[in-house]
Structure 1
Amino acid sequence: MANSTLYFALAGTVFVIGLTYGIPLFFAEYFPWQSLWKQRHGRPTVTTNSYEGRTVLITGANGAFGSRAAKLFAHRDVETLVLVDVKDCGGVKQEIEAELSDMGKAKPNILVWQADLMSFAGCQDLGKKARDLKNLDHVLMTAGILAFNRRESPEGWETFNFLSGALISLLLLPLLKSSPTNPSPPVLTFVTTFGIYPSSFTMSVPKNGSYLKRLSNNKEGMEQAHQYGRSKGLLLYFARELAARVSATTAQDKGMRRVTINSADPGSAWTPLTNPNQAKLIPRLIMNFGSREPEICATALVNGVSVSEEGHGKIMQDFDTTPYPPFMERKSGRIAQERVWQETRSELEGKVPEVKSIYEMLD
């Protein structure tokens, strides 16, 4: 009897400890509910009053977030607005011009560039067009695809959300230059997502072979369902490494202008990108827990790409910064980050020769 009592007492203690520490640790790793709840009720406003004289480039400008971000810039006196998407953004341009005309406001110079950013060739085409810009103050990269069935880029990669984003950032990096009216360094902002957290348990680094290929050669089912989050996890690794290398390069005076590299988490919203989740119970519940209006998400992104240099290397969320996911802060996460950087370099240098000089500058 005494042994049974002791057993149940120990079992009860273990259970209480598990509830007290295990559940918070689980949520910290895979479901940042406090952050999601905060975003759901967050109502950020654009913190920059005017973008007069500046040039802003937005990828994914035909999407729910990108198009709304474009309008926010246009209503705040931006001089040149570059709308980039695989789809024609002519409709977005017309909407912006009509809104400004109705309000008696001046219209910015709006450039519409159609490019297939799923392919390396499309990214290269964007880089070539951007060379003609006199200045480039803000680059907001909202382009991305969510697919529940495997889709490959022309180069054979599933993780095209990642590789295209990495390539575009490298091609635009030397072109970032503040306009005379901009008192801060230019900003390049990657878009991240809370979906990285639940995807992280499928992102372990293999002992042998390519990390990128392991994540690209995913099977249908759980891995494919997490592919968007996995690709954004890779992009967050890349963004953090790029920010660190830009800082080191600038400090060594290698000729690179001061540039702010960061990521921004817009929160979640029901949009054409996420609507497929309506048919899936768990994703739908998670989305409903944290979702807010797309206009609010776009506002958070505009603030993210408008920060001062104090935002370099950080993740912006509404008005504040937010920590990197726990798995990225561990030693294993730093090792994974180095693998991502080196493997990405090998792939891009082999197929996009013009990035070689950029990588060499960042060494």
Structure 2
Amino acid sequence: MAAADILSQPLVLAGIVGLIGTLAFVGIPWVLNEFFPYWLIRAQRDGRPTITTSSYAGRTALITGANGAYGSRAAKLFARHGVDTLVLVDVRDCAAVRDEIHAELDAAGKKRPSRILVWQIDMMSFAGCVKLSQLVRENLKTLDHVLLTAGILAFNRRESPEGWETSLQVNFLSTALIALLLLPSLKASPGNPNPPVLTFVTSFGIYPSSFTMGLPRGKDASYLRRMSTSKDGMQQAHQYGRSKGLLLYFARELAARVAASAKLHKVTITSADPGSAWTPLTNPNQEQLIPRLIMQFSARDPDYGATALVNGASAPAAANGKILHDFDSVPYPPFMERKSGKEAQKRVWDEVRREFEAKAPEVKAVYEMLDAAKA
């Protein structure tokens, strides 16, 4: 019997249709869960978080990317809720943000922070990260909240002076180095009942980029170098998500090691996702069909995203190592929970350590403290 005749038989056709239906029933949910769990961004789109800490009186908060849409709004939220010392960090001068905070508080009849420090650092270089840690040691006695919002979205491939693709340099490597260098300075103010909190900013963009984050073949092949090698076009479009994926690996490993350290002060490490919003960072997506459609489905007022970030940077000790959305923690992406994901996390930690210790020797003392596990 010819193939066409076989396919024309009703039972065969029914079987094929049933198989296609089964594959669709099983496959589509799997694909969505792996690469586009829309229910997460839908919940954030509809979420309306409010500040959960009634007062930051007597406390110190530091924000990188303080000129950005989220960083500047987060700074204003800390100030409105009584923070004592506010540190604004950016590659650009944040004096205008400071002046806006003063003007808004004066208009509302609220007390200004005792100090608003404005520091400029270049996160394209490790030297800029070291400079920030030195400024913290010289100027701050306590540090309750660190919110690392600094990030870039690079549509064209460029390399930093350190030899890394710029998205990986700023969003991942420099942010990770700052976190490590600030750990010894994280000390709660007398009026703060919780351990200090250091918060990374994570992103839904990790999910659609995850299929590009597989480990390279060969144990000697550098995972980070593979992630840093990209070409303009679709590959470069995934760099933001990949940089955030690497940062999430690092954040999870750091949280576990901080909790196990016998030499560091108790610190809570969280990753907070502000959700989607049209900001100067994301506005270039207006030019691209698929990103524009996703943003139209998910975007909300950036004030809500900033609120979620401030809450993430104020989380209790029980939130250590967790990903925080508006109202609760959410699971890690599926690829990170597999054996290959655990291996990738170890590779990220080990390769980053070699890079940092070679180019920023000041970090060696921090690694030694992280190596000292509790008995």
Match of 2:189 in 1: 179
**Stretch of structure 1 that moved more, 20-29 or 135-144:** 20-29
- Contact 2:195 2:266 (C-alpha < 8 Å) held by counterparts: yes
Matching residue's letter, 1:70: A
Residue aligning to 2:341: 333
For the Cα contact (< 8 Å) 2:142–2:188, is it kept in 1? yes
Equivalent-residue separation in structure 2 for 1:181 and 1:260 (angstroms): 17
Map residues 188-337 of structure 1 onto 2, 5 A cutoff.
188-208=198-218, 209-249=221-261, 254-337=262-345
**Residue by residue, what CA displacement relative to the aligned partner does 1:271-292 show, whole Å, maximum 9, x if unpaired?**
0000010000001001111000
Alpha-carbon offset, residue 7 of structure 1: 2.3
**Residues 182-231 of structure 1, C-alpha deviations (whole Å, 9 max, x = no match):** 00000000000000000011111002210000110112221100100000
1:152 aligns to 2:159 (yes or no): yes
Q: After the TM superposition, list the runs of 4 or more consecutive aligned residues in structure 1 that deviate by more than 3 angstroms.
A: none
Normalising to structure 1: TM-score of the pair?
Answer: 0.97
> 1:56 aligns to what SS in structure 2?
strand
Give the Cα separation in 1 of the matches to 2:146 and 2:132. Answer: 12
The C-alpha deviation readout for 1:20-42, integer Å capped at 9, x for no partner, is 11111101111110011111010
The correspondence for 2:35, drawn from 21, 30, 47, is: 30
In the aligned structure 1, how far is the partner of 2:289 from the partner of 2:6? 47
* 1:168-193 Cα shifts (integer Å, max 9, x gaps): 00000111000000000000000000
Structure 1 residue 8, shift from structure 2 partner? 1.5
Give structure 1 stretches of 5+ with no counterpart.
none
Task: Give 2:141's aligned amino acid.
Answer: K
1 CA distance for matches of 2:94 and 2:211? 37
Task: Provide the C-alpha distance between the structure 1 equivalents of 2:226 and 2:354, rounded to a whole number of angstroms.
Answer: 16
Return the offset for 1:151.
2.2
Q: Please tell me whether the aligned partners of residues 303 and 319 of structure 1 are also in contact (alpha carbons under 8 angstroms).
A: no
Find the residue that maps to 2:52 and give its secondary structure. coil
Is the 8 Å Cα contact of residues 264 and 370 (structure 2) preserved in structure 1? no
The one-letter amino acid of 1:238's match is F
Q: Distance in 1 between matches of 2:6 and 2:37?
A: 42
Equivalent-residue separation in structure 2 for 1:177 and 1:14 (angstroms): 59
Give the corresponding residue for 1:125. Answer: 131
Q: Distance in 2 between matches of 1:255 and 1:202?
A: 37
Match of 1:162 in 2: 172
Number of paired residues?
Answer: 359
Contact kept in structure 1, 2:89 and 2:118, CA below 8 Å: yes
Q: Indicate the SS of the match to 1:298.
A: helix
Structure-1 residue corresponding to 2:146: 139
Give the Cα–Cα distance (whole angstroms) in 2 for the partners of residues 349 and 320 of structure 1.
36
Per-residue Cα deviation, 1:46-76 (whole angstroms, up to 9, x for no partner)? 0111000000000000000000000000000
Aligned residue type for 2:144: D
Q: Report the Cα distance in structure 1 between the residues aligned to 2:185 and 2:209, rounded to whole angstroms.
A: 33
Compute the displacement of 1:11 (Å): 1.2
Q: CA deviation at 1:152?
A: 1.6
User: Does the CA-based 8 Å contact 1:59-1:142 persist in structure 2?
Assistant: yes
Is the contact made by 1:57 and 1:82 (CA closer than 8 Å) also made in structure 2?
yes
Shift of residue 2 of structure 1?
A: 7.6
Report which of the two structures shows the higher radius of gyration computed on alpha carbons: 2
The amino acid across from 1:25 in the alignment is W
Aligned alpha-carbon RMSD (Å)? 1.0
Aligned pair partner of 2:121 in 115, 127, 133: 115
Residues 296-334 of structure 1, C-alpha deviation per residue, up to 9 Å, x if partnerless? 100010111111001100000011101100100111100
- Report the Cα offset of residue 163 of structure 1: 0.4
Amino acid at match of 2:310: V
